[in-house]
Chain A
Amino acid sequence: MNLYYFLGHLGPIRIGLFLVALVCSMPARASSYDAPLPPQLSSDPDLCAYAPCREVMPGADSFSPRQGHPSYVEAYRQAGATRQLFGYVFLSTDIVDIPAYSGKPVVTLLGMNTKGVITGVRILKHSEPILLIGIPEGELTRFIEQYVGKFAGAKVEIGKSQADEGQIGLDAISGATVTVITENQVIMRCAYAIARQVGIIETVSRPAARFTPQTDLRDWNALIDEGSVQHLTVRPSELGVASTGEPYIDMHFGYLNAPAVGRSILGDPDWTRLMAELKPGEHAFFIIANGTASFKGSGFVRGGIFDRIQITQEPDTYTFRDTDYQNLYSIAAAGAPAYRESGIFILRSKAFAASYPWRLRFLANKIDPQTRTKTFASFEREYWLPGRYLDGGRPVVHTPEPTSLHVWKMKWLEIALLLLLFAATATVYALRDRLVRRATRKNKNWVSIPKYVTWTLSIVFVGFYGLAQPSITQVLTWLHSLVFNWRWELFLSDPLIFVFWWFIFITVLIWGRGLFCGWLCPYGSLAELSFKIAGALGLKRFQFHLPMPWHNRLRWLKYGVFATLVAVSFYSMGIAEQMAEVEPFKSTFLVGGVWKRAWPFVLYWGLLFTVGLFIERPFCKYLCPLGAGLAVPGTFRFYGLKRKAECSDCHACQKGCGSLAIDDAGVIDRRECLLCMECQILYYDDHTCPPLSQERRRRSKAGLPMTPIAADGYYIPIKPVGADQRE
């Protein structure tokens, strides 16, 4: 039984199922990927009964219950008869709410000694698809081990160290840039927050605010308009709970020490009384709220702490105890809304400076709609007292650079080179008419050389160096973000991919998918280049095209793969990511060598590569879900390729088309065409294109001059002198 017989009887659907089964059976599940965690982990006072605290705090022999806000546990070591404080252990999801690439947090357990030095990091659970099947678990372990020995207050960033700026650089995980940048934020913010809370890191001192003598009373709308009162709303859908038609919480809040604001909100007598009670370095805030939830919660009843609200002023976080609370009976400002819950909170810290921006943070539990598990979520609104109430106006504030911007700055050279490559490729393609006129079927250098250069750069620079291989997984992530929660920073975190996708969007609409698939896709370039090299090395006589009937059946397979992936992704991104291993991209470029992967991946990759030495681009033609996805908009590209009327009877171009994109009627299938330009070379080649060749021979025999070939692919007609005038 030969291969043809086997494929012919298998049929496209069965082949698809076979491949899906192969991919799904690949044994590469990472141990912390979507690992089931006990529900008590996030709430039980005995954190270490559910988490491996000793692994992140070696040497400790006992642990306290959870304490503090945000919570941590103390680690102890027995020294003789006494028990000594040895360090602190904390869970990232108790402290920060930073989703990673998957949109879900990386649940991380950290240990830190009493000097603020990180003693251990352990990832308990993540949902990062690239770490599921693309990158071995060992890479992740090696990455987080870099944090051991780092001080909680250090400036740690992904990338190179910069001694002059006091920045410690860490090695990233190739192919998982977004994940490691996010995890870096998680680890360092958590360590800082706990180190700050337990007093290892000193308070950042800012000059206290001096208020202007403004005392004019303002109504509610005026306070809202000028920003003296801010508004924070959390909807039930943001927490995964059923709606009742009301917001989950709908809060207005503001800073009361500023005389004009305080008097407007409380009225003159109450404000004067409140200010008289405050000591230097104490600050009063008011909150009023509606909604189904309470901003006070019930934690203050049991433990005396309001566990649903915090004030943050980077890098400090402040919580309130029951002794910091006063009743707020009414709002004096005219036009204030009715409210269900209210309160005044006193912040007792000289570190807080009202002249600088701060945030009110509302903490809640978010329920995963799929698993119904609870995770910590926080919602914030910034408040910055208007400059008219501050003596000297608002101070200059240096906001930290967004992580994505930092990455763009780090990779500016790569981005510039990539843009240059795109610009050059697009220019070459836009000038295709000039190039194909100079090329002939026997000498295609004018077209081949630019293509070979582009393929080589795409493989070496874009693929292996930049790891910027576009993939169907990015399309799925993009689709999901569009529907559920668009986050620009997610896409900006990987600048090369971001730039590449813009190029793809634009060129697919203008020229179809061929410029990307045929010229710039790193894997496609590798497949085509290896096919050409194999031919040059003597395998040409074994190279062949599949018969058109088989090709016409098999080419639909990739659309089936694409549709299946999209549909499955809405059921489970994790399963879709696993199934997306039908793309051999990760094995080729992202994991530092296909040999590092499990044997089924190596087998699959090797099979594709070997078949690709004999059949031109088999993966691109029959399996690539990304190519199928791009073919959909590519059907409506603005500019196509040139054809002649005779192309319907002549099959010269069809025979030379490596993509098998020209049918028996001479029609180019715009979804399959990879813009190889073979048919366009023939279009102007008067020794190969039959209509041109016939005309050339006719003129030669008749002794007529050879006029230039016009844009329509025919010789410019010879008109007798004076014909123009007669016409």
Chain B
Amino acid sequence: MHEMNQPAPILPPFAQEKRLLQRLGYEVWDHLWPWSRHGFERQRFIVALSLGVGAVVSVVWLLAAAGRIGANAMIAWWVGWSVFEVLVRRQSKPYVKEGPWWGTQYRRADLADTICYVAFKNLLIGIALFLAMRYFGALDFLQGLPELKWLYI
């Protein structure tokens, strides 16, 4: 049952996509990419900064997955990135899904909604990343790369 009297419903552009696979693709992209075209136009400086931070975060994640980085640094990066993502999403994609995750209802997100969304989503992405890297042997591979030695913390 849809809740009435909740923050105003909002529909991201892709929510009206009828084809299931395309919609799933858009949703995955929506979760992974916090910026919107609208956001790009308004936040060029932030976008550039974001891309830099994103790249650093990717490297830190890889190192962390390989067990080559301290837990403190890893959690700091995770939190840092999440905070940054919250700020970007507040401008670019200020909505979260309402009701079942397989549904197509969205609502306008307040700050607490966005924080919860980013924290929970990034936790799930982190879990998925670790499990996938473990399963596919990427951890072993990374540990055997002397080229990464200079990056070890």
* Residue pair B127, A245 in contact (C-beta under 8 Å): no
B interface residues, how many (CB within 8 angstroms): 36
Q: A638: nearest residue on chain B (CB-CB)? A: B100
Other-chain contact of A636, B75, B96, B130 (Cβ < 8 Å): B96
Assuming the contacts A570-B72, A644-B5, asked whether A635 and B117 have C-beta atoms less than 8 A apart, the reply is yes
Interface presence of B97 (CB below 8 A): yes
Interface presence of A593 (CB below 8 A): no
Assuming the contacts A635-B117, A636-B117, A638-B99, asked whether A667 and B6 have C-beta atoms less than 8 A apart, the reply is yes
Instruction: Write out, one digit per residue, whether chain B residues 123-153 have a CB within 8 A of any chain A CB (1) or not (0).
Output: 0000100100000000010011110010010
Interface presence of B71 (CB below 8 A): yes
Would you list 25 pairs from A and B whose C-beta atoms are within 8 A, ordered by A residue? A235-B140, A242-B152, A246-B144, A483-B64, A483-B71, A483-B74, A484-B71, A567-B75, A570-B71, A570-B72, A632-B119, A633-B116, A636-B101, A636-B117, A638-B100, A640-B1, A640-B3, A642-B3, A642-B4, A644-B4, A644-B5, A645-B5, A647-B5, A671-B116, A711-B1
Complex: A195 Cα to B127 Cα, angstroms: 45
* Residue pair B68, A639 in contact (C-beta under 8 Å): no
* Residue pair A635, B120 in contact (C-beta under 8 Å): yes
* Residue pair A482, B5 in contact (C-beta under 8 Å): no
Residue among A242, A244, A635, A640 with the most chain B CB within 10 A? A635
Assuming the contacts A482-B127, A643-B6, asked whether A245 and B149 have C-beta atoms less than 8 A apart, the reply is yes
Interface set, chain B 20-63, CB cutoff 8 A to A? none
Residues of B within 8 A of A631 (CB): 116
Interface set, chain A 634-662, CB cutoff 8 A to B? 635-636, 638-645, 647-648
Interface presence of A665 (CB below 8 A): yes
Interface presence of A12 (CB below 8 A): no
Other A-B contacts than A236-B143, A243-B68, A666-B5, 9 sampled, CB-CB below 8 A, are: A244-B146, A247-B144, A566-B75, A632-B119, A635-B113, A635-B116, A638-B100, A640-B6, A644-B5
Interface presence of A47 (CB below 8 A): no
Interface presence of B80 (CB below 8 A): no
* Residue pair B120, A636 in contact (C-beta under 8 Å): yes
Residues of B within 8 A of A633 (CB): 116, 120
Residues of A within 8 A of B120 (CB): 632-633, 635-636
Residue among A243, A571, A639 with the most chain B CB within 10 A? A243
Instruction: Write out, one digit per residue, whether chain A residues 619-641 have a CB within 8 A of any chain B CB (1) or not (0).
Output: 00000000000011101101111
Complex: A245 Cα to B119 Cα, angstroms: 34
Interface presence of B7 (CB below 8 A): yes
Residues of B within 8 A of A648 (CB): 5
* Residue pair A245, B4 in contact (C-beta under 8 Å): no
Residues of B within 8 A of A570 (CB): 71-72, 74-75
Shortest beta-carbon contacts, A-B, top 9: A245-B146, A237-B67, A643-B5, A635-B116, A638-B100, A640-B3, A570-B75, A647-B5, A643-B4
B25 to chain A, nearest CB (A): 20
Complex: A247 Cα to B144 Cα, angstroms: 7
A141 to chain B, nearest CB (A): 33
Interface presence of B66 (CB below 8 A): yes
Interface presence of A467 (CB below 8 A): no
Q: B103: nearest residue on chain A (CB-CB)? A: A638
Binding site for A on B (CB under 8 A): 1, 3-7, 64, 66-68, 70-72, 74-75, 79, 96-97, 99-101, 112-113, 116-117, 119-120, 127, 130, 140, 143-146, 149, 152
Residues of A within 8 A of B127 (CB): 482
Assuming the contacts A243-B143, A245-B145, A636-B117, asked whether A667 and B7 have C-beta atoms less than 8 A apart, the reply is yes
* Residue pair B130, A640 in contact (C-beta under 8 Å): no
* Residue pair A244, B149 in contact (C-beta under 8 Å): yes
Residue among B7, B66, B116 with the most chain A CB within 10 A? B116
* Residue pair B66, A668 in contact (C-beta under 8 Å): no
Residues of A within 8 A of B1 (CB): 639-640, 642, 711
* Residue pair A636, B116 in contact (C-beta under 8 Å): yes
Residues of B within 8 A of A636 (CB): 96-97, 101, 116-117, 120
* Residue pair B5, A665 in contact (C-beta under 8 Å): yes
Assuming the contacts A571-B72, A645-B5, asked whether A245 and B144 have C-beta atoms less than 8 A apart, the reply is yes
Assuming the contacts A482-B127, A636-B116, A667-B5, asked whether A243 and B71 have C-beta atoms less than 8 A apart, the reply is no
Other-chain contact of B99, A242, A640, A644, A645 (Cβ < 8 Å): A640
Residues of A within 8 A of B5 (CB): 643-645, 647-648, 665-668
* Residue pair A237, B99 in contact (C-beta under 8 Å): no
* Residue pair B66, A237 in contact (C-beta under 8 Å): yes
Other-chain contact of B116, A244, A483, A632, A640 (Cβ < 8 Å): A632
Residues of A within 8 A of B74 (CB): 483, 570
B35 to chain A, nearest CB (A): 21
A621 to chain B, nearest CB (A): 15
Complex: A235 Cα to B6 Cα, angstroms: 53
A235 to chain B, nearest CB (A): 6
Complex: A236 Cα to B67 Cα, angstroms: 10
Assuming the contacts A639-B99, A643-B3, asked whether A237 and B119 have C-beta atoms less than 8 A apart, the reply is no
Residues of A within 8 A of B119 (CB): 632
Complex: A640 Cα to B127 Cα, angstroms: 27
Complex: A642 Cα to B3 Cα, angstroms: 6
Complex: A641 Cα to B68 Cα, angstroms: 46
B52 to chain A, nearest CB (A): 24
Q: A662: nearest residue on chain B (CB-CB)? A: B5
Complex: A645 Cα to B6 Cα, angstroms: 10
Residue among A242, A244, A638, A644 with the most chain B CB within 10 A? A638
Residues of A within 8 A of B71 (CB): 483-484, 570
Q: A666: nearest residue on chain B (CB-CB)? A: B5
Complex: A668 Cα to B1 Cα, angstroms: 14
Residues of A within 8 A of B3 (CB): 640-643, 668
* Residue pair B4, A645 in contact (C-beta under 8 Å): yes
Complex: A636 Cα to B70 Cα, angstroms: 32
* Residue pair B117, A237 in contact (C-beta under 8 Å): no
Residues of B within 8 A of A566 (CB): 75
Q: B134: nearest residue on chain A (CB-CB)? A: A486
Complex: A369 Cα to B71 Cα, angstroms: 10
